[in-house]
Every structure is written in structure tokens, then in C-alpha cells.
Amino acid sequence: MELHRNRKQRGSGRIWFIVDIIRKEDQRHGKKTRGIVQEILTNSLFHPHGIKVRLKSGNVGRIANIVSAPSSEDNEKGY
């Protein structure tokens, strides 16, 4: 699977990807929170500030960086 690295495109933040997000309350300082994407919240295919997602931890924010795609081992487990 090719990893789409443009954080502003909706296809870049797929479920189970490991990403860094910036939560709204952390925007001023640029503090990033890392986690696994549980849900994509942005409906449009493109957003100028980045795609908004909910992590498995419950944190919500816009993708700042895509760290990695799920491993093939995760895919075999049905994740």
C-alpha cells in the first residue's frame, strides 16, 4: 500500500494509520499528539488546514504528520 503523505487530502488519513495531530487547544504552541486514526471527521476531499480525525484515544484534531500505515500483520488481524 502506498502511503499518501499530503495531510490536506482526505485519502491521506485512513483508519488505523498512525498520525500526529494538532488539537484545537494546542494550535498556538503547535503541540502534536500521536495516535491511531479511529474516524475521519472531515467530509470534504480537501481541507486547507488539514483533515480532522478522531484518534482511538478520543483526541480530535487535524493531521499534522502521517507517521505510518498499518503493518501487514495488522491487516492480517483484520484491523
77 neighbors 9 (Cβ within 8 angstroms): no
Residue 73's pLDDT is what? 54
Please report the domains of the chain, with CATH numbers, ordered by start residue: 10-76 (2.30.30)
Alpha helices in the chain (DSSP H): 72-76
**Rounded Cα–Cα distance for residues 50 and 21 (Å):** 9
Residue 75's pLDDT is what? 47
Q: Residue 62: pLDDT above 90? A: yes
Residue 9's pLDDT is what? 57
